[in-house]
Chains A and B, each alone.
Chain A
Amino acid sequence: MSVAKSLPHDAARLHVTGAARYVDDIPTPADTLHLAFGVSTIARGQITAMDLAAVRAAPGVVAVLTAEDLPFANDVSPSVHDEPLLSDGAVHYMGQPLFLVVASTHLAARKAAHLARIDYAEETPILTVEDALAANSRFEEGPRIWEKGSATAAVAAAPRVVSGLFEIGGQEHFYLEGQAALAEPQEGGDVIIRSSTQHPTEIQHKVGEALGIPMHGVRVETRRMGGGFGGKESQGNALAVACAVAARLTGRVCKMRYDRDDDMIITGKRHDIRIRYRAGFTEDGDVLGVEFWHYLRCGWAQDLSLPVADRAMLHSDNAYCIPAMRIESHRLKTNTQSATAFRGFGGPQGMVGIERVMDHVAHDLGIDPVALRQRNYYDALGEGGLSAPRASATHPPEGISQEKKDNLTPYGMAVEDFELHGMTARLLESAAYDARRAAVADWNASNDVIKKGLGFSPVKFGISFTLSHLNQAGALVHVYQDGSIHLNHGGTEMGQGLFQKVAQVAASRFGVDLEAVKITATDTGKVPNTSATAASSGSDLNGMAVKAACDTIRDRMAAHLAELHQCAVAQVRFDRGAVHVGAEVMSFAEAAHACYLGRVSLSATGYYKTPKLSWDRLRGQGRPFFYFAYGAALTEVAVDTRSGENRILRADILHDAGASLNPALDIGQVEGAYVQGAGWLTTEELVWDERGALRTHAPSTYKIPACSDRPDVFNVSLWDGQNREETIYRSKAVGEPPFMLGISAWLALSDAVAACGETYPALDAPATAEALWHAVRRVRDA
């Protein structure tokens, strides 16, 4: 079987030879036109005059379009039609596209875009949480509030209470391939779009609206992206629509790619969030009640902000069964880029909230922060026996309450697959936690300049789209008469290895080698009405849909071959490239040919929808997730207290991918996600000035982790469990969950700063060197 094997990425050979084609690498005709947006230079106001004469006269310019020139819909929103492609006169953020330049080269288009003279009636922008609250500028009528028990009463009655308020910054996706799209006009007004997108169906839909044609006139193809991370779920709409409109106008192939600065200035990022909390707990460390207030800056358009903010609420418990919790979530509308999907989709923000609470409580009580967490974990309920016993040799938290917990999340879903007791015990042992905790304490007792810290954080991440109807997928599989197999499904490949994993499923179903399976580009003409490749759902959904398609063909083949050779269908087996029919053995190719001659259809679609979901988002009640994926990380850091400069010395990770479809790819996801998560909370700082200009719009000013930042020691392993739910080969989704393991790096920094004094460091995120420098002073001077 091909599944469960560590096979390399399907395009690895193309990648290492430079032959893998991304959108900007696709050969185009010599007369291809290139597009660029002219963007606003204020954050809020009205355009009073737009003089584009110099733009039109610039060398190489073929056409310049404003909102009035658009033939049909002027909208690229994935949700509520509030995102004009080109400004309709109102300016909502600095960097908003106002007009579109169509020119002979990329450079000519970009240069011309800077020649416009635009007059504005400028208004005071709403930039900060305070601004937005003061103006009651928000999405939805008021805050969403979900509650389990009465948290306010629980906190009030608790023996001890901590409270605080802190900020968590946003994050630029920094997919190394910027947004890009290409439109090729076809006969009869149809168009083919090649787009670097996680959501081809959405592109098809928006292009259709913009051209005034049904979706059947638009075909969208996506072979691969140079990284997505959620940033290509909706943010590619503008480029694809612009190309389609320009291609319709000129009859020529049109291409658009954002230069890095444009990309960072125009597109949305991870939501930043301010979290206020109050937590009540016992002297022993049982957390009795927590109240959270979330304030998310969503930017100017709704985009995906509601489900992102929901998911932040849905992860406010993380791994902890807290008897009473109240979460109030404010989705604020600000004059900044429209914040969008980013790996974890709000989950990380919510999780940082509760991890901060746990950290603060442990500090307040002087209890080991890992023991405190274990004490408050959900109970391991499952009968399957997949978890190691909860009382571990390494860390039996003393006096752990033996009362059974209700194991209900704040939104009323029962946690039935909790793996973290066993995982935590295993990780603490393999990472020698107790010894290193003591060593760090010794070090800190005798060193004043360099302080070390240890941080532990668990992850429990809910898998499924919270918009239940998105949890469906389709596939299309053909078997050709030579036994080769054509595979197509609705998922997109952004580097996560989805195509390879799904091809492994197909090869396993037919009992053939992977080489027999041709992986093909995602194509709205082959599989329609797909969901975005997002919410980590790619292999879960598409793997199942492909399995269904393969099984349909395999059953047809088996029935025909059984009849041909006069045996029972049950006696037909597909195994290692051969088909056994009773006593006969033939190659898969021979079997396929025989079926073709026997007039058996060798093509099938497959379809899957996730079972068991029911969710009422307004009440915050139900089962939004099919299952949870788990992980645990321990990070050690060193901080130079004179400068705030810091290093991750060691990271140990144990992650739950169920029965992994491909351990090499999954470990790769875990490593990359951890580093990206740690980057979010440490070095990646987005800065807007008081006019609303994003000042960090290039890698020179926005610092993502580099090779030199990688932990010196980096131990990553997979937990050898199985998904208790019936997923594809009992695997678990792995794209997003490990991102939140990076929280342990932030906690480790907090631990190191805490070693400078008695006070709780109360770090914001990102904990940049500068922020740490200040924090050290705060703690020392207190």
Chain B
Amino acid sequence: MSIKYAILGILAEGDLHGYELKSNFDERVGEFWSLNYGQIYSTLDRLEKEELVTHDRQAQDKRPDRKIFSITPQGRDELTKWLSTPVTKVRALRDEFFVKLVFMDKTTPGPLLELIEKQKVLYLKHMNRLTHRKVALKKEADSLDALTTELLMDAGLFHAEADIEWLALCELKIKAAIDPKE
């Protein structure tokens, strides 16, 4: 699972407290992946058991010690190996819309066609907002960090576009199935 590697990636850049790790994670990949503290700490636990991560204790006034996490040499090896391996699992078709499609009545397709129309509008609005944020980002920042964000925004736009085109095709095929003359 990628949470593990995202955490290794962040720790490879420097040692961090748990909450710093969480805010770094949110800033870098939060757009695609939301995590709560529980998930962060349970993943850190697992990484420690696998000896990919270790921690030090830092004393604090009047409060319990804080843990500072760091990546181990084995952790770095594991991260390097993961970074250089292409992703073999293609994006899973797990969209909630697909489940709706399965259960919607195709014999009276009016409501289904309406749903498709609404879904298309939603994706278009999403693309519109994302594009405007991208334009704003390109104006203010020109660092390599901004490049990563831009590329990920592009991915979001291409996926949404594919969804819109697929929905338009659904519409045509559903209509053709009801009235083969159309």
The answer to whether A and B belong to the same complex is no
